[in-house]
Amino acid sequence: MTAIALRVNQLLDRRSLPVAQLLLRVITAAFAAILVIGALTTEGFLSVDNVKAILGSTAFVGIIAVGITVIMLSGNLFSLSLGTTTAVCAMLFLFALQAGIVVAIVATVALGAVLGAAQGLLIGSIGANAIIVTIGAGALQEGGAVWASGGSAVFPPKNAPGMSFLADTILGVPFAVYVLVVLAVAGEYLMRRTRFGREIYLMGENKRAARAAALPIVALTAGAFAVAGACAAIAGVLIGAFNQNASLLVSGTFTYDAIAAALVGGSVVTGGRGSIARTVAGAVVIATISDLLLLRGYSTGVQILVKGAVVLVVVVLLHINQREGER
């Protein structure tokens, strides 16, 4: 019976697939056309300054997105609290500056990694759902941050020691962009050339096979979330230095922007497929869209709306393409 049902389903799929695919290609093409036409007709879009602005706004989202890509590749969907982690880390960084810049950076990245690893441990060891654990962890981080800060914004100590370089521009490009490039290269190396990275890919591709091969599932999951937390912390350091103050408001739309960047870059939420390099490209696309909408005077609401539509279309497209590839 099951075999017959399967066969029928396959037939149904085969018939309905090309139509869906055609439709989605048309949508993608239309979207690309809108983007290109928008770019050509928007005043000030094709200027050097604007390209720099796009790169600048890519950097923060991109750095968080590098981390979220590792989570996605590991087969654990995505985290819904990385924006909060970024904000909490920015607050800690500015507070810890009184102990010196090196201590502050190390402490902040350590906090991010620990926050991530704790969630990863839970998710990896007992199979708790990643989305729900990270939502709960986000509420916990918010509560903890308000408790520790008394609910007010954190400012750096007077005469903060040598943090200005973090917010500088070098050769006209913000420092954060260089950090993103370094992180992306390091991340690609980690994921492609090290045992940790390859095992993450395998675990994301086929968790049961990974279990059967006695891969350390718990450690790998904790590791993936720790990397993501550390990336969020690095973004927190840069944002704290850039804004010269930090509160929970920092989190903004970072969580969703980072997820959108990874998805647009072609990472598959169910794991195993995608790469950090493609995520960075996705972050550039998201930043470009935001910039274009901003230049044309669209509200925040429209920007979120468009990002949501992009996520939806890309998720569906990727899914269909992947199924075609399996045939």
> Using CB under 8 A as the criterion, which residues of the chain lie in contact with another protein when the complex forms?
1-2, 4-6, 9, 16, 20, 75, 77-78, 80, 122, 125-129, 131-133, 135-144, 146-147, 151, 207-208, 211-212, 214, 256, 259-260, 263, 269-270, 299-309, 311-313, 315-316, 319-320
Size of the chain, expressed as the number of residues it contains: 327
**187: nearest Cα among 224, 233, 134, 150:** 224
Q: State which amino acid sits at residue 225.
A: F
CB of 49 to another protein, least distance (A): 26
CB of 128 to another protein, least distance (A): 4
CB of 20 to another protein, least distance (A): 7
Rg of the chain on CA atoms, in Å:
21
Give the nearer residue to another protein in terms of CB position, either 6 or 103: 6
Give the nearer residue to another protein in terms of CB position, either 36 or 309: 309
Q: How far apart are CA 92 and CA 98, in angstroms?
A: 11
Q: How far apart are CA 53 and CA 288, in angstroms?
A: 9
Give the nearer residue to another protein in terms of CB position, either 36 or 305: 305
Give the nearer residue to another protein in terms of CB position, either 156 or 255: 255
CB of 90 to another protein, least distance (A): 18
Q: How far apart are CA 276 and CA 184, in angstroms?
A: 6
Tokens read off for 181 = 């490039």
C-alpha angle 141/227/245, rounded to 5°?
A: 45
- Give yes or no for a contact between 283 and 61, defined as CB atoms under 8 angstroms apart: yes
CB of 26 to another protein, least distance (A): 16
CB of 314 to another protein, least distance (A): 8
Give the nearer residue to another protein in terms of CB position, either 121 or 180: 121
Give the nearer residue to another protein in terms of CB position, either 48 or 214: 214
Q: How far apart are CA 297 and CA 142, in angstroms?
A: 32
